[in-house]
Structure 1
Amino acid sequence: MLEDRKLQVLRAIVSDYVSSQEPVGSKALVERHNLGVSPATVRNDMAALEEEGYITQPHTSAGRIPTDKGYRLFIDRLAGVKPLSPAERRAISTFLSGALDLDDVVGRTVRLLAQVTRQVAIVQYPVLSSESLRHIELVSLSADRVLAIVITSTGKVHQRSVDLPGHGEADLAELRTLVNAATAGASLTDAASSLGTMADHVPPHLGAMAAQVSSTLLEVLGTSTATRVVVGGVPNLTRFGDEFETTVKPVLEALEEQVVLLKLLGEAATPGDVTVRIGQENPYRELQTTSLVASAYGSDGDIWASLGVVGPTRMDYPSTMASVRAVARYVGRFLAES
């Protein structure tokens, strides 16, 4: 276990390297930080930190940079996740407040995360066990076609056309009323169950129409967004500098793999907690030059999905962790109240 003074030196090295992206020397540490010890003592502490694997010297006659092990200790010794300022909290709340539906919420969230962290943001679509069906609308498009519109409690809107040759407006209105009476307010599972037997519980003259509409609506409810992940802020990868071929290109390829991103986000287990995976801690070789900061979002202990950011290991961890946690909380609260 490192003594407090060496931990101070490590914190100073991490801070300076993240801000300057240049190896840090003992002279710079003494000049920039009030460590309360002589330059010789700082050099001795740096030598000890290097021997224990917390920092390394990238090339001869250079300063030191943190290793993955050094970043891990730095994060593990953070005194909790720092709170956001009132202005930052207002900015997040305002950014999400105008969202129209779930797609808009996810889109705004990924843009917001990328903007406030200056990293690549990844947001998984929510899977809501508490999601219910709010309303079904049936709109006549022509003499032979009807548009079925499904609206859920989270604001998701699905549309699908249905072939209903020769349908009448009166019959369509009657069927619309019956469908909503059987499904409005029900969970998606219960709504699907009701739709499955709908044709058996309507007047005979609506039987064929109800069977066709129910079949289409069941297809809509069976369409899951659980495996969708949205990525934003890819231009932020330019912060890797001249490392495109060796670093950025493999990262870009990994970010295109939805399965990889879902597994990465999968370990963000509970709302409020922040998971950090640094460099070699990532199981995917293409992402072992990066760090992932992620958190789950949900409501009242019900986890819906996860979100996070991917960026260089030299990221500003305290600020990034605070932003990811705050955005996850706001998204969960916003969806719960929608």
Structure 2
Amino acid sequence: MTQSRRMVVLRAVVEDYIRFQEPVGSSALTKQHDLGVSSATVRNDMAALEDEGYLIQPHTSAGRVPTEKGYRYFVDRLATVVPLSAAQRRGIDSFLSGSVSLQDTLQRAARLLSEITGQVAVVAAPSLAKSTLRHVELVPVATNILLAVVITDTGRVAQHTIVANPMPEQDGAARFTNAVNAEAASLPLTSAARKVRAMAAAPQWKELAPLAESLAVAFENMADSERTNELYMSGTSRLAHQHAAIADLAPLFDALEEQVMLMRLMSAMPRHDGVGVAIGSETHTPGLMHASVVASGYGQTKTRTGEGGELDIPGWGSPDSHDSNPSRTSKHGGDMIDRHAAYDEQSDQTDDSGQNDAEPVAFVGSIGPTHMDYAATIAAVQAVARYLTASLAHEGDGD
């Protein structure tokens, strides 16, 4: 009995359990897959995989189901994931292009990802700390109060109230604002704050020094503030239709309510070329012990590509890891993936070394059961992340 054949059996068990969500027996496995060995041999392989912690047998007379270790092995050795068909990409583009604002785009993206995967979708608004200043306006709203309205390169709009004592003359405030926009545009908000303070030291702005300091503080507060209400979620009602125990659902709902926790989890997940997968205990979150999370950054992320334009994900394209049935379909999204075709919409922002030289400004993710269709979910998350990146780039050009 060879280790390589045993792992082929493991892969087949995971695929069938994802597809049918029922314990997998050796007889059914030999019928569904051309493993080239008898049912008895497969049964011995499955017993060995159980001893090694990759499978578990829920009941003595039942088949076996994957463990976290089994899912992790499967995910780490997925064949190269090539996102979505041309028709589906056009559908995404059509759906998202109808957005009227950044908020609308993110809300639509969450709904769309949930529809494609049949799972919970989470989309975070671009981080102000990672955004750059495009434009600022100071709007009088009361006798001694100004409203600083900041527009970032991602299209996000933030507001901050400034108390001005004394209230500057309208012409002077307008000239100062125009100077700030000329000097600080395209700078991160913290750098813009330093620029404004430096400007205030110039003789021409001496009388507006208090206003300059207040505006600098406003920029710094915006950069430091990561508000939880900037998280867009869709598909939580779908959890009730999942094949999961009620005891597992209650803590999952609680975890979804903890938006700060979700933001930290998805932003900190280790990623291979932009995509991260955390399974069960890997989330380090009690409410997600029976769930998996797939997340990707979007915004300024630059995608590394291999030869031929395919995603080059470490450990994901070994010669012996190709799907024995590449025409598999997702029960939620139709023909989701042709895992052996070329993806023709790679980012063109990669430098000559193929390395990423910018951090993503936010993340998009999908949360579902550990028996989720990982290949389809990864594909969908990648596709939505890329369209959000393109959308923000479009905003950043000022179009």
User: Does residue 254 of the first structure (1) align with residue 262 of the second (2)?
Assistant: no
Say which SS state the counterpart of residue 292 (structure 1) adopts: strand
Aligned-pair CA distance for 1:90: 2.5
Which whole-Å CA distance do the structure 1 matches of 2:2 and 2:129 have between them? Answer: 45
Give the CA deviation at 1:2. Answer: 5.8
CA contact (8 A) 2:190 2:219 kept: no
- Which has the higher Rg, Structure 1 or Structure 2? 1
Secondary structure of the corresponding residue to residue 375 of structure 2? helix
Partners of 1:233 and 1:101 lie apart in 2 by 21
Check conservation: 1:299, 1:336, Cα contact below 8 A.
Answer: no
TM-score by length of 2: 0.71
Q: What is the aligned partner in structure 1 of residue 234 from structure 2?
A: 232
Counterparts in 2 of 1:35 and 1:96: CA distance versus 1, 3 Å: same
Show the 5 A alignment for 1:209-228.
211-212=210-211, 215-216=214-215, 218-224=217-223, 225-226=225-226, 228=228
Partners of 1:278 and 1:291 within 8 A in 2:
yes
CA contact (8 A) 2:113 2:380 kept: yes
CA contact (8 A) 1:196 1:218 kept: no
Q: TM (normalized to structure 1)?
A: 0.82
**Of the candidates 352, 359, 376, which is equivalent to residue 303 of structure 1?**
359
Q: CA RMSD in A?
A: 3.3
Change (3 A) 1:295 1:139: closer
Q: Which moved more, 1:107-116 or 1:151-160?
A: 107-116
Structure 1 pair 279–182 and aligned structure 2 pair: CA distance change class (3 A): closer
1:323 and 2:324 equivalent? no
Structure 1 residues 95 and 142: alpha-carbon distance in aligned structure 2, compared to 1, 3 A threshold: same
Give 1:1-338 correspondences, 5 Å limit.
Answer: 3-127=3-127, 131-141=131-141, 146-162=146-162, 170-196=171-197, 198-201=199-202, 207=207, 211-212=210-211, 215-216=214-215, 218-224=217-223, 225-226=225-226, 228=228, 230=231, 231-241=233-243, 243-244=245-246, 246-269=247-270, 272-297=273-298, 298-300=300-302, 301=356, 302-304=358-360, 305-338=362-395
User: What's the offset of the Cα at 1:54?
Assistant: 2.0
Residues 53 and 80 (structure 1), Cα distance of their counterparts in 2 relative to 1, 3 Å cut: same
For residues 223-259 of structure 1, what are the alpha-carbon distances to aligned partners after superposition, in whole Å with 9 as ceiling and x for unaligned? 2354646233222222444522x21111121222244
1:17-69 Cα distance to aligned partner (Å, 9 max, x none): 22222222233223333334333333333333333332222113222211212
Whose relative contact order is higher, 1 or 2, with alpha carbons under 8 Å and at least 6 apart?
Answer: 2
Unaligned runs of 5+ in 1: none
Secondary structure in structure 1 of the residue aligned to 2:295? strand
| Fraction of identical pairs, as percent | 44
Q: Deviations over 1:183-241 (max 9, x none)?
A: 3344423321233355554757x935x63475156325522354646233222222444
* Equivalent-residue separation in structure 2 for 1:258 and 1:2 (angstroms): 46
Q: Is the 8 A contact 1:272 1:296 kept in 2?
A: no
Classify 1:40/1:263 alpha carbon distance in 2 versus 1 (closer, same or farther; 3 Å).
same
> 1:114, 1:232 within 8 Å by CA — same for their partners in 2?
yes
CA separation of 1:144 and 1:281: change in aligned 2, threshold 3 A? closer
In the TM superposition, what whole-angstrom CA distance separates every residue of 1:112-139 from its partner, at most 9, and x where no partner exists?
3322222222334434777332222234
Equivalent residues of 1:271, 1:295 under 8 A apart: no
SS at match of 2:123: strand
Question: Structure 2: how far apart are the matches of 1:190 and 1:263?
Answer: 24
* Residues 215 and 22 (structure 1), Cα distance of their counterparts in 2 relative to 1, 3 Å cut: same
2: CA distance, partners of 1:325 / 1:219: 34
What is the CA–CA distance in structure 2 between the aligned matches of 1:130 and 1:52, rounded to whole Å? 44
CA contact (8 A) 1:100 1:155 kept: no
- Structure 1 pair 202–133 and aligned structure 2 pair: CA distance change class (3 A): farther
- CA offsets per residue over residues 260-289 of structure 1, 9 Å max, x none? 323422443457342222223332232211
Structure 1: how far apart are the matches of 2:55 and 2:167? Answer: 76
* 1:78-131 residue CA offsets vs partner (Å, 9 max, x unmatched): 222243222233333334334455434433333333222222223344347773
Question: Secondary structure in 2 aligned to 1:223?
Answer: helix
Q: Quick one: distance in 2 between partners of 1:314 and 1:177?
A: 55
Rate the CA distance shift 1:166–1:67 in 2: closer, same or farther, 3 A. Answer: closer
Change in Cα spacing, 1:202 to 1:271, as seen in structure 2 (3 Å) is: farther
Greater mean deviation of Cα atoms: 183-192 or 248-257 = 183-192
Which moves more between the two structures, 308-317 or 192-201? 192-201
Aligned length, in residue pairs: 335
Q: For residue 80 of structure 1, what is the amino acid of its counterpart?
A: T
What CA distance in whole angstroms lies between the structure 1 residues aligned with 2:172 and 2:215?
18
